[in-house]
């Protein structure tokens, strides 16, 4: 299993196009929304949760800015 991080431009944040049939739904969430308990986050042992937690803790911001 692999996990990736990317920085989306403001134009991309307006709309997500699901055109490959793989995903049923996709949305952007703010830190505040994720910390509120909705949506329900994946298990702490999952790659997805590690990525979300890193972003929530601002661990990813420095890494994205240094590119």
Rounded CA-CA distance 47/2 in Å is 7
Rounded CA-CA distance 23/34 in Å is 20
Q: What is the pLDDT of residues 20-51, one digit of tens each?
A: 888 888 888 888 999 998 889 999 999 999 99
**Of the given ranges (14-18, 23-27, 43-47, 63-67), which has the lowest mean pLDDT?**
63-67
Largest CA distance in the chain: 34
Please indicate, yes or no, whether the overall pTM of this predicted structure exceeds 0.85.
no
Among 7-11, 24-28, 54-58, the range with the most confident prediction by mean pLDDT is: 54-58
Q: Parse the chain into domains and list their residue ranges.
A: 29-67
């Amino acid at each position: 299993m692999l996990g990736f991080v990317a920085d989306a431009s403001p134009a991309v944040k307006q709309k997500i196009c699901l055109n490959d049939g793989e995903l049923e739904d996709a949305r952007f969430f703010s830190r505040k929304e994720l910390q509120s308990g909705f949506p329900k986050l994946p298990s702490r042992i999952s790659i997805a949760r590690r990525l979300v937690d890193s972003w929530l803790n601002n661990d990813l911001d420095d890494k994205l800015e240094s590119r």
